[in-house]
Amino acid sequence: MKIYKFFIIILFVGFSFHSCDEFLDEQNPNSITDNSFWKSEDDFTKGLMATYQDLQANYVMGGGTATDGHVLSDIVTPNPWGSSQLELHNHYVSDVNSYVTDKWYQLYTGIFRANQVLENLQEADFPESFKTNIEAEARFLRGVFYFWLATNYNNGSIILHKSIPINTEEFYKPLSSREEVYELIIEDLLFAQKNLPEKRPTSELGRATWGAATAKLGKVYLYEERFDEARNEFKKIIDSDLYSLTPEISWNFDLEHEHNSESIFEINFTIATNPPQSTSRAASIAPQEAGGGRSIEPAYNFIELCKKDPLDPSDPRNKGQVYSIRALATICFKGDGQIFYQRPTLDFPFIVEQEAHIKKFQNWTWPEERSDGRSGINERVIRLADVYLMYAETVLKTSGNVEEAIKYINMVRERSGVLKLNKEEYDVDKLLTHIMRVERPLELFVEGHMIRWNDLRRWGIVKEVLGELSQIKYRAFPDWLREATPEDLEDPDAEIRVQFTKAYQNYDPQEDNFFPIPHQELLTNEQLSIN
């Protein structure tokens, strides 16, 4: 069951005007103020729910991040009518790009709300157990918001707010160092890990747990290349026996299997409330023939990667299949034998630019997109398969134990009927390359908070990957593509296509690994220099 009710707590900051007319000093008895609100346990629960609600914001984990956030990487391409997306994809990002500016302010809104809860909780006269639980959730959320800011902006050097700004000096603060920012993130997540429950009752599904804090802490350590600490946190998740891989990978992207055994942290969305707590992801990505905007498409190289995902011939589920179970759960191919929006894919309209359609987090089991263009499918932020693959990576980085790493990679592959890796064929470097180039993109395509882009950047292989992809040529046919052969390149009538050319030419790690501080922030914050 989802949490359907959210409450927004808005702090109004106003100026005091004095007048001899006494009625101007009258307080509206129906208005909510700081003095009248933070009085009961229910008030703090509502304030916390308002903080959770910011996770649904368009450029936090809503439809904007679910589409635009992935075009920086090598797995999707945007369509030409999305100017903001094209800027991101081609690595020509300005400080007025709508994704850059809106994401910044939406994440800081979440931090502001978390700080409201934390600051007012200090003076509240409630049982310590209640206060500790609320503090743990608020600090988890604040840590997550700051982590997403630090991994997106200015190489992690951003503005730190640990309390509610009261005056101009507190509101307009200088940038904190990257080290200070990550110190606060880790402090918040450690407190959350220590004090959050392992499980939630059905009525509280979607609220943070010990597992969510532990997995997120492990990811912070991983991004910071603190591999021993990251490995320890991921192993805690694995050894807890709180989570298990779902029988089918598709259960992690649909409406029917939300909060399943594999889900460690996910964002609740629904179309059942009024107004709906929904996301635009499905309608934005759906093909035009299904009423969607087709804002992003799987890149040609990713389609080829899906085609090459090797089937295990001993798995009965693969009998008569051409593509792997996880490939078919991720994208659809023309004539792949599947049903897509109530039509066999053989009959579904495909053009050359649409050699495959995205299926993850889509309403493709429906006859058509909802007329209001919204979806209630939850966003899975962290799931066990992701933890298995990150754990395998940290094992290789710390002990170099190929057998241990392959054990967890094969658990992910076996779930989807993919041929298991043979440890005799891999050394540490080869297996790390496999994780980077094959396993993580195939398993985690367009998932989480910009997972693929963050992976490429932390590995330092963005330029290398884009360079390789910009050299691959594809020959276009009436309704499909293939990698061009030497004969195709010599055929004067062949239509040859390439991708990622501009992305490769424009990408500069010094300029493009992180977003700039938004221009409006530079103009209004006197503590920041435009230079």
Distance CA(86)–CA(320), nearest Å, equals 39
Distance CA(361)–CA(381), nearest Å, equals 12
Which residue is it, tokens 């390149």? Answer: 489
pLDDT at 21 over 50: no
More confident residue, 276 or 106: 106
More confident residue, 20 or 239: 239
284-322 tens-digit pLDDT: 898 888 888 889 999 999 999 999 999 999 999 999 999
The alpha carbon of residue 22 and the mean position of all alpha carbons in its chain are separated, in whole angstroms, by 53
As a whole number, mean pLDDT of residues 84-108 equals 94
369-389 tens-digit pLDDT: 454 567 899 999 999 999 999
409-440 tens-digit pLDDT: 999 999 999 999 999 999 999 999 999 999 99
For 54, the token pair is 């910011």
pLDDT band of residue 352 (cuts 50, 70, 90) is: low
pLDDT in the model for residue 300: 94
Please say whether the beta carbons of 259 and 266 come within 8 A: yes
More confident residue, 366 or 125: 125
As a whole number, mean pLDDT of residues 264-284 equals 87
pLDDT in the model for residue 529: 65
Distances in Å between the alpha carbon of 273 and those of 5, 253, 375, 454?
Answer: 8, 21, 12, 33
CA torsion through residues 140, 144, 147, 149, sign: negative
Per-residue HEC secondary structure of 409-456 comes to HHHHHHHCCECCCCHHHCCHHHHHHHHHHHHHHHHHCCCCCCHHHHHH
Distance CA(121)–CA(52), nearest Å, equals 17
132-149 tens-digit pLDDT: 999 999 999 999 999 999
pLDDT band of residue 34 (cuts 50, 70, 90) is: low
pLDDT in the model for residue 229: 98
CA torsion through residues 10, 11, 16, 19, sign: positive
pLDDT at 108 over 50: yes
Distance CA(479)–CA(460), nearest Å, equals 36
pLDDT band of residue 277 (cuts 50, 70, 90) is: confident
pLDDT in the model for residue 62: 94
Per-residue HEC secondary structure of 18-70 comes to CCCCHHHHCCCCCCCCHHHHCCCHHHHHHHHHHHHHHHHCCCCCCHHHHHHHH
pLDDT in the model for residue 337: 86
Range from 92-106, 263-277, 363-377, 442-456 carrying the lowest mean pLDDT: 363-377
Please say whether the beta carbons of 488 and 475 come within 8 A: yes
Q: Is 275 exposed, middle or buried (0-12, 13-18, 19+ CB in 10 A)?
A: exposed
pLDDT band of residue 10 (cuts 50, 70, 90) is: very low
pLDDT at 79 over 90: no
Range from 25-34, 45-54, 352-361 carrying the lowest mean pLDDT: 25-34
For 389, the token pair is 């693959």
pLDDT in the model for residue 26: 54
Among residues of the chain, what percentage have pLDDT more than 90?
Answer: 75
Among residues of the chain, what percentage have pLDDT more than 70?
Answer: 91
CB atoms within 10 A of CB 279: 27
Residue 139 is which amino acid? R
Distance CA(210)–CA(314), nearest Å, equals 38
Longest dimension (CA), the chain: 90
pLDDT in the model for residue 492: 92
As a whole number, mean pLDDT of residues 393-417 equals 98
How does the average pLDDT of the chain come out, rounded? Answer: 90
Distance CA(123)–CA(142), nearest Å, equals 20
- If you compute the radius of gyration of the chain from its CA atoms, what whole number of angstroms results? 24
Angle at 190 between CA 187 and CA 193, to 5 degrees: 150
As a whole number, mean pLDDT of residues 156-164 equals 95
199-235 tens-digit pLDDT: 999 999 999 999 999 999 999 999 999 999 999 999 9
pLDDT at 20 over 80: no
